[in-house]
Amino acid sequence: MQERAIQVVMWLAGVGIVLTCAQPARAQSLRTDTPGAQVLERILVKVNGDLVSQSDLETAQINNIRTRPVPPQTDAELRAMVQEVTPELIANAVDELLLVQQGRELGYALDDEQFEDILEGIKEENGLDDEQLLVALERDEGMTLDELRETMERQMLSGQVQQVEILGRVSMTDTEARQYYDTNLETFTEPASVTLREIVIAVPEGGGALNAGRENQAEAKAQAARARVLAGEDFAQVASEASEAPSSANGGLIGPIELADLAEAVRGRIEPLAVGEVSEVERTTAGYQILKLEVSTPPTPTPFEAVREGIVNNVFDERRLLALDEYLTRLRNEAIIEWKDEGLQTLYEAFLVERAASRGGA
């Protein structure tokens, strides 16, 4: 797994700008802590003066691909995968900056005591001391302690803004859940289904008088099997002895199967039957067939109480996402967003439209 992750990183490094930028962006200098040194970094977008760089996006791409259950096997697969995820990743990067900036404006911060608590939790969970933690951070995440703190603070600020500004304003009452259930009752209803038994007498392929004789013999055999059932013999037993279909091994049992999934001709034959009744002998493409309606289950709604929690969670989450979109739209409209790559800007704007449509937004 580690070997595959390293390979993904090397692939991304080799593919480079082509993946992250639809058009080349001018390289700009970023501050470095080394006196007299200057690091050239490709800036993709500025959000109220804060930056999303190419390396930020590449890191997000690498992390996303590392989480895939099936990693890319070729350069072509890698390119396709990165192109697929890049619009969402750049949108997430801008959204995170907006939320972090809002969190700082509202006075939120990760103080020393909170960060120490986080570190203690990490060390305890992984059985590490201070030195081992630093080594593990560098080895596994390529991070320093300061970079970990910055990452944790960004996550905390983003989460706290959503908790206060969004989750606190979204609700779902029992009455609304019940109304949703009644309005969408089909969603919570198990469709009508049937369980059948069959007896099939196959007709050998061929032509002429010989085949006509075989046809007559097969029909007579089927009629005899039906007569045995009507005389009181168990259908399953007769099917086991006389049927030439694979289902004979199970007493001719078919199903349960949803009524809508049955061929129209079969539905037409069983609809007049009451449970326990047997059809006439019918010529089908498989041969002569007799059906018995073993069980018929009408459409059955799942009780409200059994799905109530799921409704509350799902609808609440839909409302949360809509509220988050509305909140982020306001922050975007108030922000100064300066794109340095027109291709990524186009992908970003198209993704926002698609995401809003998928969530029922404007």
Cα 275 from chain centroid? 40
The CA angle 46-50-56, to the nearest 5 degrees, is 80
Cα 121 from chain centroid? 31
Rounded Cα gap, residues 327 and 91, in angstroms = 14
For residue 142, the model assigns a pLDDT of 81
For residue 13, the model assigns a pLDDT of 42
Instruction: Provide the residue ranges of all domains of the chain, joining segments of one domain with +.
Output: 192-298
For residue 335, the model assigns a pLDDT of 96
* CA atoms in the 13 A half-sphere facing the CB of 10: 8
- What is the pLDDT tens value at each position of the chain, 362 positions in all? 444 443 444 344 443 433 443 333 334 444 444 444 455 678 999 999 999 999 999 989 988 998 888 888 888 999 999 999 999 999 999 999 999 999 999 999 989 999 999 999 999 998 999 999 999 888 888 888 998 999 899 999 999 999 998 988 888 888 999 999 999 999 999 999 999 999 999 987 655 455 677 888 899 999 999 999 999 999 999 999 999 999 999 999 998 999 989 989 899 999 999 999 999 999 988 889 999 999 999 999 999 999 999 999 998 998 999 999 999 999 999 999 999 999 999 999 999 999 888 877 54
**172-200 burial, b if ≥16 CB within 10 A, otherwise e?**
beeeebeebbeeeeeebeeeebbbbbbbb
Nearest to 22 by CA among 344, 350, 338: 344
H or E segment and range at residue 47:
strand 39-47
For residue 141, the model assigns a pLDDT of 80
The CA angle 44-45-51, to the nearest 5 degrees, is 100
The fold of the 192-298 domain, in CATH, is Chitinase A; domain 3 (3.10.50)
